[in-house]
Chain A
Amino acid sequence: MDQPDGHEGIGARARRQETERFVKGAGRYVDDIHLPNQAFAAFVRSIAPHAVIAGIDLEAARQLPGVIGIYTAAELARGSASVLAPPGIAQCPLAADRVRHIGEPIAVVVAESRYVAMDAALAVTVDYDALPVVVDPEQAMAPGAPQLFADRPHNIIEELHFATADVDRVFAEADHVVHARLRSQRISACPMEPRAVAAAYDPGADELTVWVSSSGVHGVRSRIAQALGMSEANVRVIAPDVGGSFGAKNGVYPEEVLLAYLARALRRPLKWAETRIEHLAATKQGRDQTHEIELAVRRDGRILGLRDRIIADMGATSRPDNSLTSAFLYMSGPYDIQTYQVDAYGVATNKAAHGSVRGIGKADAAFVLERTMDIAARQLGLDPIEIRLRNFIPEDRFPYRTATGALLDSGRYHACLRRAAELAAYEQRRREQAALQQRPGVRRGIGVSLVIEPTGAARRNVGGGYGACRMRMELSGAVSVFPNIGQQGQGHVTTITQIVAEGLRLPKELIHVYDSDSVFSPYGPGTGSSRSSVTLMPAVHVATDLLRTKILRIAAHRLGVEPGELRLENLAVRSATSPDRSLSLREIAQIAYLDIDLLPPGMEPALEVTGYFVNPNIVYERDEMGRRNEFMAYPYEAVVAVVDVDTTTGAVDIVKYVSVHDCGVMLNPRIVLTQHLGCIAQGIGAALYEELRYDEDGRLLNGTFMDYLLPTVNEIPDLVVEHMVTPTPFTPLGAKGAGETGMLSPPAALGNAIEDALAPLGVEVRELPYTPERLRLLIKAAAGAPSRAARDEEDRRG
């Protein structure tokens, strides 16, 4: 479509509108909401990793001036939280008689001020009878291990198996089998805004309003209504500005349900803001998978089959998230591997519950596969780029059905990796590498990777398969937009505005997007899985078309011409053939709302539409083998990373980091780039620094920002980023989803680069993160005995 003057349509590098209020300090996050007569909540949390609660002494805390009440599971079960005695809370989110991880909520204090609430929480004494602790999932599966849940034998909460018929034969006949054991570490998403909840109840109307720092308001509303025994229709959940989520704010948390409950029970507006210490201990944590992977390979590097056993540490939960499935289905990544077997186990341990962290499951899969490809290359004496080029799915085989049933929409993997190599001057760097190894105490390594990232998850009972957008043209011609997915910093408002501006030829000042509010946002699954571009944005496009079509039909009727003859521009509809025949948007809106007798016969009044987009690339029903397609599109990224490893300190210096990213059509290339840069930075944190460390007694060793290391500005090198555009054929806009892919690559590419640097010393780097401590220990240990990698390296050179 033509881009009219002053319009910033689809694909424009439009400046983010949201940023203006953020630079003014005028964003409005949950903790910024001050309600009249508001009280504050604070939580008493378990300091025991696994214990029976023998007693809770609330007396000292109750004596503190300003304390309104302290509530435990027992009291909530009795319904004694209020003199009005509402019915007890279903599915109490406080630990009743047993705790299973550090940070689990045991009691909640309500007080007149923030400080008094925290004082009182500290004054509560809990007696624990310690139970045996298990923090290693493999030990947790073993006979005789402490059991977390009575109905989950061997602590296995989820088990998945898939195999094609030919696996054993292919492995038996292969020239060579590559084996690796690889582990991703436990990390925290750490959005800069911790979680927060505010709640207020209007007894006259029986309406409960909850403000929550969350990725999805409708799921929170359903759970609150269910727990409180209220009708969903009487609960309103609003997510105002949300200071990042990265998966951490997906789903529903106990604090959200409790604040809602207590606000109603106490007839007081309430607020709770999570501390960072609570965030690190109790907010859902990610990754933490161990893979035993095998590749059956031909001498020339062609992969004939893949076999993997995954053990995922799900922490103290009896309900699996989708991490294991996402890894289980996508272990073959960008490669043409139709012989496939994966056996996967999700295991409960005494750590905080596992949940979404940017790249859930898919990051573990990408890391394991891409590390294994390099291990295979080394064992076969092949260049790591060459082995990939020999195995990538060729361009002409898309859409490509994987062994597990996923339909990969499109891809130009060969071109993508070749371009990254070119930008990084790969050949030249390889030639220089030997000379650089002469430097004392420093080793140069080069690593490559190509990851795919499944986006737009949709499953039975979970949903996610469509986007929805309500849109209303007001009497003035301005447009109000109500998307079904909100944002936590992704710039959705800007992107949505671009789509509407282009379709209706409106200046952006006349378009206003309302973010998440369950009262007016259409039902939606919440932001996650990079699904906005593959569901919501096409739905905005559909809604815009519906509105445009209705506007044109009204005008055609009034002007006595065919709709196809009309042009919508400059806030008016005019005839292309006789431009003097026109109606302004105001005039059309007046007909639609006020002078409805002038509408075409049979047309409904109003200029209010809802657009839906059902992404066609989902297969819900599993076939007899269990094959299905749970994701809509598959963006990908090639990386070439060059590192120097200091062999004395173990420190890694990223000399060069080149990314070539293909997320299909970029609805706003500026927003994509900004997200991608930040995504890579989080990936660098996950590769080199971040790890939630639990000791064998289940104690979290680094539960504050003093010791849980996020990358600062000094840890992020200059990044070279380029985009390729291969549109997905499955949406009208061609976008595949962005904002997660960049996080998948650093653990793989940097791991490959580090092992490339250190393999001649006999070092194998198979666990994340690559901290100086870990690398130094590996270097020291290898100085004793040459490893498999060193022998391979020797074989190759010899």
Chain B
Amino acid sequence: MASISVTVNGTTHQVEVEPRLLLVHLLRDVLGLTGTHIGCVVGRCGACTVLWRGKPVKSCMVFAVQTDGSEVTTVEGLAREGELSPLQRAFWEFDAAECGYCTPGMLMAAQGLLQRNRTPTEAEIKRAISGNLCRCTGYLNIVRAIQAASIEISEEDDIRVF
């Protein structure tokens, strides 16, 4: 077992983990953050996407021990004081979710993009979510939602950076 300290959504956790424990299982099974979903465990579907050191990663492709001393943000960390983030609001407003299973991963991939680039082109948006599969929406509403959020965010002075 290894002892690690990882900060998730601003809260630091000291945990003992098996070296082989995947980050996604740390989040879900140990920390109880079940908003991050599992769709394939081979890094192909993106349902488990989180931000690690500010960048989107598939948390089934990262060992928990690798995150020792670093920061992770999950979908549960997007809303601030109960208020939905611009991206979450846009996903709701533009019907970018149906069954909701891919949604947290899509949101985190998009959040990662918007933190690097407030005004992405459609091509950049598509590239950013091309590793995230959705089986319900056909993606068009997701792209529209990210575009709408980007417009809102680009008009703000400050975008939250984790």
Interfacial residues, chain A to chain B (CB-CB below 8 A): 15-16, 18-29, 31-32, 34, 114-115, 190-194, 241-244, 246, 273, 275-276, 488-491, 670-671, 673-675, 677-682, 704-706, 710, 712-714, 716, 718-719
Contacts and interface: CB of A to CB of B under 8 A. Distances in A.
Interface in B4-39: 18, 20-21, 25, 28-29, 32-39
B98 A490 contact: yes
Centre residue among B29, B76, B103, B142 by max chain A CB count within 10 A: B103
A31 B38 CA distance: 9
A275 B45 CA distance: 12
B42 interface: yes
A713 B143 contact: yes
B129 interface: yes
A243 B101 contact: yes
Tell me what chain B mostly uses at the interface: helix, strand, loop, or mixed: loop
B38 A678 contact: no
B52 interface: no
B107 A23 contact: yes
B30 to A, nearest CB: 11
A16 B38 contact: no
Given A674-B141, A678-B137, A488 B88 contact: no
Centre residue among B18, B101, B133 by max chain A CB count within 10 A: B101
Contacts of A491: 98
Contacts of A191: 99, 101, 135
Contact of B139 (A22, A24, A28, A716): A716
B100 A241 contact: yes
Given A22-B99, A25-B33, A675-B136, 15 more contacts: A24-B35, A25-B75, A192-B37, A192-B47, A241-B100, A244-B98, A276-B45, A491-B98, A671-B95, A682-B138, A705-B42, A705-B45, A706-B42, A710-B135, A713-B139
B40 A26 contact: no
B57 interface: no
A222 B139 CA distance: 37
B88 A489 contact: no
Contacts of B92: 15-16, 19-20, 23
Nearest to B105: A192
A19 B92 CA distance: 6
Contact of B135 (A115, A246, A670): A246
A244 B99 contact: yes
A366 B100 CA distance: 30
Interface in B36-95: 36-42, 44-45, 47, 74-76, 78-79, 84, 88-89, 91-93, 95
Contact of A24 (B39, B45, B88, B133): B88
Contacts of B33: 25
27 contacts: A15-B95, A19-B92, A19-B100, A20-B92, A22-B103, A23-B88, A25-B76, A27-B35, A31-B34, A192-B45, A244-B135, A244-B136, A489-B98, A670-B95, A674-B95, A675-B98, A677-B140, A678-B137, A704-B42, A705-B40, A710-B135, A712-B130, A712-B139, A713-B139, A716-B138, A719-B138, A719-B140
B112 interface: no
Centre residue among B38, B126, B137, B140 by max chain A CB count within 10 A: B140
A25 B36 contact: yes
Contact of A115 (B20, B131, B140, B141): B20
B42 A193 contact: no
Contacts of A714: 126, 130
A24 B101 contact: no
B99 A489 contact: yes
A31 B24 CA distance: 13
B44 A704 contact: yes
Given A23-B103, A681-B139, A192 B133 contact: yes
B114 interface: no
A26 B35 contact: yes
A192 B102 contact: yes
B57 to A, nearest CB: 17
A415 to B, nearest CB: 25
Centre residue among B34, B91, B100, B126 by max chain A CB count within 10 A: B100
B113 interface: no
Centre residue among B89, B104, B138 by max chain A CB count within 10 A: B138
A115 B18 contact: yes
Centre residue among A241, A246, A681 by max chain B CB count within 10 A: A681
A314 B29 CA distance: 38
Nearest to A715: B139
3 closest residue pairs by CB, A with B:
A25-B35, A489-B99, A22-B100
A25 B137 contact: no
B20 A679 contact: no
A273 B47 CA distance: 15
B104 A25 contact: yes
B134 interface: yes
B97 interface: yes
Centre residue among B29, B74, B98, B104 by max chain A CB count within 10 A: B98
